[in-house]
Amino acid sequence: MKQGIHPDYHPVVFQDAGTGTRFLTRSTITSERTVDWTDGNTYPLVIVDVTAESHPFWTGAQRIMDTAGRVEKFERKYGRRRPHGSS
C-alpha cells in the first residue's frame, strides 16, 4: 500500500442510542467523545441510532405486511374494478 493516502484506521467504541449496548471495533470515524473500555484503554465513542441490538430485522420485531388487508382497504375505498369488456 502507498504510504500517506489512507485514513487513520483505529479502535472505536460504538454505542446503540436505543439500547445502550456498546461494542469495540475498528473504524476511520473520529469523535470528540471518549469512553473507558474494559481493557483499561480509552477509545473514541460514537453513538449510532441502529445496531443489530435494535434493528427490527435482527431482533425479530419486523412488521409483517398484511397484503390481503391492504387489498380489502383499497376495494372499500375505490370499489371493486371489473375487467374491461365485462358489463
How far apart (Å, rounded) are the C-alpha atoms in residues 71 and 87?
A: 22
pLDDT per residue, tens digit, the chain (87 aa), is 688 898 889 999 999 888 888 999 999 999 999 999 999 999 999 998 888 777 665 555 555 555 667 777 777 888 776 666 655
How far apart (Å, rounded) are the C-alpha atoms in residues 35 and 2?
A: 32
- Provide the whole-model pTM: 0.60
Q: Which strands make up the sheet holding 34-36, listed edge to edge?
A: 22-27, 10-16, 42-48, 34-36
Task: Please state, in angstroms and as integers, the Cα–Cα distance from residue 12 to each residue in 6, 45, 49, 87, following that order.
Answer: 17, 6, 16, 68
Contact of 39 with 7, CB cutoff 8 Å: no
